[in-house]
Amino acid sequence: MTGMLGHPVAENPIDLMFDAVYAHYDLPWQFWKSDIASEADLAHAVRALVPLGYRGVGITVPYKVAVIPMLDAIDDDVKAIGAANYVTVEQGRLIGHNNDGKGVVKAIEKVAPLRGQRVVMLGAGGAGRAMAAELAWAGAEQLTLITRRQEQGEEVAAMVTRVSGVPTTWQPWQGKVVLPEGTTLLMNATHLGCAPELEPVPLDWNSLAPGTVVVDVITNPRITPFLATARERGCPIVDGVEMLVQLAIQIFEQWTGITPDEAVFQRAVAEALGE
């Protein structure tokens, strides 16, 4: 038994992808997505993981921070970042890990090097805070976090600066986002653009310089309206499905002890999305 705890989870193709990979490697494993309505319900679900026989679970929005006090131990990445995106069950103990940012770094560096990038990130929730830290550790020159919640944005900016030494600032999200001059990489770390609503990201597209790398964390659809507009403007893009594949490979290996072939994951997620 493996799975994911979060809200919402319906549109995420991760269960279909993992089940296909389990089948490929002849593992009698299953992946269950559970839509958890509240932090109180999350506590019940986490307590049930060991008696139900789970090997591990992914943790997604909005519980990547809230889950931490419910665990028996956390790794160094979770300690630094302050969020967990998956749990392993080891000898009856729940151990929290975070590889959100590691998957993002691998996906982006297939398209462009991160060293020297001047990054703007929209949103700074549980996934965003991990991604911001990992982008800084990977060599980004500067980060600007644009969020609607000042307390959250300033806290994450301070964390990134503290753990990486990379200058990170907060900017309020008011109306259409105007990008700071010199931005070379733009990332949407919000749920805007997710199926089925496909809400547009309120961005002043005229402030986007040609050649800016544009990244979206949304997994369904693969090409969001945000990425489609960026591609039309000639920008290189990185989609959330590629990030999902990269972090899922790492989680699969942690849970099973098997180093999988990336092509198996790529085929599985393409089939899950009906591509």
Are 110 and 230 contained in the same domain?
yes
pLDDT tens digit string along 89-139? 999 999 999 999 999 999 999 999 999 999 999 999 888 999 999 999 999
Q: Which residue shows structure tokens 């026989």?
A: 53
For position 80, what pLDDT does the model report? 92
Are 76 and 182 contained in the same domain?
no
The whole-number average pLDDT for the span 177-203 is: 95
What is the token pair recorded at 102? Answer: 């590691």
- For the chain, the domain total comes to 2
Are 113 and 85 contained in the same domain?
no
- Catalytic-residue membership of 64: yes
| DSSP per residue, 33-101 | EEE--SHHHHHHHHHHHHHHT-SEEEE-TT-TTTTGGGSSEE-HHHHHHS--SEEEEETTEEEEE--HH
Are 213 and 250 contained in the same domain?
no
pTM (two decimals): 0.89
For position 125, what pLDDT does the model report? 87
- The span from the CA of 219 to the CA of 193, in Å, is 10
The whole-number average pLDDT for the span 188-201 is: 93
| Active-site choice (33, 64, 102, 106) | 64
Task: Please determine, for residue 67, whether its predicted confidence score (pLDDT) is greater than 90.
Answer: yes
Are 40 and 157 contained in the same domain?
no
The whole-number average pLDDT for the span 236-255 is: 96
- The span from the CA of 61 to the CA of 123, in Å, is 12
Task: Please determine, for residue 201, whether its predicted confidence score (pLDDT) is greater than 90.
Answer: yes
Are 93 and 105 contained in the same domain?
no
Q: What is the CATH number of the domain that holds 162?
A: 3.40.50.720
Q: What is the CATH number of the domain that holds 260?
A: 3.40.50.10860
pLDDT tens digit string along 9-61? 988 889 999 999 999 999 999 999 999 999 999 999 999 999 999 999 999 98
Are 155 and 105 contained in the same domain?
yes
Burial 24-39 (b: 16+ CB within 10 A, else e): eeebebebbbeebeee
- Residues 54, 33 contacting (CB under 8 angstroms): no
Are 250 and 200 contained in the same domain?
no
Are 139 and 201 contained in the same domain?
yes
Type of residue found at 175 = G
Are 149 and 173 contained in the same domain?
yes
Task: Please determine, for residue 70, whether its predicted confidence score (pLDDT) is greater than 90.
Answer: yes
- Give the residue numbers spanning the domain of 140: 101-238
Q: Residues 6 or more apart from 187 whose CB is under 8 A from it?
A: 104, 119, 120, 121, 122, 131, 214, 215, 216, 217
- Residues 242, 43 contacting (CB under 8 angstroms): no
Are 152 and 246 contained in the same domain?
no
Are 13 and 105 contained in the same domain?
no
